[in-house]
Amino acid sequence: MDKQGIEPGRLRKAPENFLDRAGLASVVQEARNGRRDFIRGAFAAAAAGAAAPLALAQGASTVQDGDPAILQLPEHSTGLGQPVVTDGYGKPSRYERNVQRRQSPGLTQTAQASVSFAPLQSLFGIVTPSGLHFERHHQGWWDVDPSRHRLMLNGMVKQAKVFTMDELMRLPSVSRFHFIECGANTGMEWGNVAVPTCQYSHGMLSCSEFTGVPLITLLEMAGADLQRGQFVLAEGADGSSMTRTIPMDMVRSGAVLVAYGQNGEMLRPENGYPLRLVVPGVQGVSWVKYLRRIEVGDQPWGAKDEAVHYIDLMPDGQHRQYTSIQECKSVVTTPSGGQVLLDKGFYSITGLAWSGRGKVKRVDVSVDGGRNWRTARLQGPVMDRCLTRFDIDWVWDGKPAIVQSRAMDETGYVQPGYRQLRAVRGTRSIYHNNAVQSWLVQESGEVKNVQTA
């Protein structure tokens, strides 16, 4: 950890990691020394720099067929490997042990009411591995016994009901990919604190395939009054007594799930095992974990986490309440803070875009701090209220560059810059910062978080 008590991402502090600067430098040295003929020249061409069309060809060394060095086989090419894994759940490679969720020690007082951030800078595609899913607990996590867990439906219903897990899991379910983002994600930036990596700036964001029963199915079973009942309250079973109000319109559309599955298996304990609410597009706090009760009512509840927390203090001193939907947002994950570009030449700029209001329509990328923008490729399928991976080619000329992304969703909403956001929202918010993120690539290749309007 550095002086701010914040631990940087994988590129700086992982000598065992193959993307580590020291490790790569040794490979370059090895090539220069000619000790491994077959990688001779691997980095020399890249260091020379070149125009865009040639840049792709820089990235590999040349080799002659029959080069004797190829015959020096490593142990894994000659020996007998490990047996099939039947003694436990599979784990990542030992070379990936630096890819971890990380806690920001200065951010919270206790580890039970805290956050661990997902390592976005090390992830690919859109799925977040469940072992790296961000955490936000209000009173710690529990491994709740599913045979004893119950879900109660009450309030404006004909007949209150209690479900066992088995009863829920017998009902028709759906599986859908959705992002989940904490309302406080990127919250430090409100106060001009440029945290060093995108793990800390944007890592309260994850994306999974969730499986569960549409809440509307359960409400219909209980004979809920869907005319007068315009809201539901979701209540968790853990000690934080988390309760959140959900508009019935979201439930009626079938979007809200009472979920038990995540990425093909049961939810993880840190993510609410055995049951959590899935509220697509809405901030994570409403995705109530250890879900034990749904109450139907005719007005919002104004619960503690709706009246005191998760509200937005506006410039006029008033606060916005029930600003639950996560507006359109994006972030470049490579290159991003804490990473190091080892040489000039071709890079694939890539990142994530999402919107709580539907599908991402377009992402533009700038490498000059917002003066010029190019439209990035979106990788499909682009799904509703789901992360979308974008990428765009870039040849770095070795000069300082400010890399940004700006997303637009299918409603036409465009992700704001900080100047635009602050003109409306002021500077005293904690939640719902969806401004354009700026990463400065320095001449040294080191990338740092900077703020530009």
Positions 121 through 180 that interact with a copy of itself (CB under 8 A):
122-133, 135, 137, 139-148, 150, 152-154, 159-176
Characterize the bridge pairing of strands 291-297 and 150-155: parallel
How far apart are CB 65 and a copy of itself at their closest, in Å? Answer: 6
Place of tokens 């090419």: 77
State how far the Cα of 210 lies from the Cα of 212, in Å rounded to an integer: 7
Is residue 114 a contact residue for a copy of itself (CB under 8 A)? yes
Report the largest interatomic distance among the alpha carbons of the chain, rounded to a whole angstrom: 80
- For a copy of itself, the binding residue among 99, 365, 421, 435 (CB under 8 A) is 99
For a copy of itself, give the closer residue by CB, 230 or 391: 391
State how far the Cα of 35 lies from the Cα of 44, in Å rounded to an integer: 15
How far apart are CB 123 and a copy of itself at their closest, in Å? Answer: 5
Scanning 84-92, 316-324, 355-363, 404-412 for contacts with a copy of itself by CB under 8 A, the matching segment is: 84-92
How far apart are CB 432 and a copy of itself at their closest, in Å? Answer: 22
For a copy of itself, give the closer residue by CB, 214 or 416: 214
Scanning 80-88, 194-202, 316-324, 427-435 for contacts with a copy of itself by CB under 8 A, the matching segment is: 80-88
Q: Are 176 and 210 in contact (CB under 8 A)?
A: yes
Q: Are 108 and 114 in contact (CB under 8 A)?
A: yes
Nearest to 132 by CA among 202, 187, 210, 203: 203
Q: What are phi and psi of 301, to 5 degrees?
A: -90, -25
Is residue 239 a contact residue for a copy of itself (CB under 8 A)? yes
For a copy of itself, give the closer residue by CB, 252 or 391: 391
Tell me the three state secondary structure of residue 52. helix
Is residue 216 a contact residue for a copy of itself (CB under 8 A)? no
Q: Where are the beta strands (DSSP E) in 284-410?
A: 291-297, 312-313, 319-320, 329-334, 345-354, 360-366, 374-375, 377-378, 388-396, 401-409
Tokens of 117: 């951030």
For a copy of itself, give the closer residue by CB, 154 or 442: 154
For a copy of itself, give the closer residue by CB, 170 or 228: 170
State how far the Cα of 384 lies from the Cα of 379, in Å rounded to an integer: 14
Is residue 209 a contact residue for a copy of itself (CB under 8 A)? yes
How far apart are CB 389 and a copy of itself at their closest, in Å? Answer: 6
Is residue 181 a contact residue for a copy of itself (CB under 8 A)? no
State how far the Cα of 70 lies from the Cα of 369, in Å rounded to an integer: 45
- Per CB under 8 A, contacts with a copy of itself among 4-63 are 18-19, 23-24, 26-27, 38-39, 42, 46, 56-57, 59-63
Give the N- to C-terminal CA distance of the chain in Å, as an integer.
29
Angle in degrees, CA 8, 139, 216, rounded to 5: 105
How far apart are CB 161 and a copy of itself at their closest, in Å? Answer: 4
- For a copy of itself, the binding residue among 189, 238, 306, 312 (CB under 8 A) is 238
Tokens of 51: 């125009």
How far apart are CB 452 and a copy of itself at their closest, in Å? Answer: 26
Scanning 300-308, 366-374, 381-389, 419-427 for contacts with a copy of itself by CB under 8 A, the matching segment is: 381-389
- Per CB under 8 A, contacts with a copy of itself among 243-262 are 260-261
User: In 176-229, which ranges are continuous DSSP H helix?
Assistant: 198-202, 215-221
State how far the Cα of 355 lies from the Cα of 246, in Å rounded to an integer: 18
**What string marks each residue from 290 to 329 as x (binds a copy of itself by CB under 8 A) or -?**
x---------------------------------------
- Per CB under 8 A, contacts with a copy of itself among 399-428 are none
- Per CB under 8 A, contacts with a copy of itself among 346-375 are 346-348, 350
Q: Are 182 and 200 in contact (CB under 8 A)?
A: no
How far apart are CB 279 and a copy of itself at their closest, in Å? Answer: 18
State how far the Cα of 244 lies from the Cα of 260, in Å rounded to an integer: 19
For a copy of itself, give the closer residue by CB, 64 or 427: 64
- For a copy of itself, the binding residue among 211, 283, 336, 433 (CB under 8 A) is 211
Q: Are 186 and 108 in contact (CB under 8 A)?
A: no
How far apart are CB 5 and a copy of itself at their closest, in Å? Answer: 13
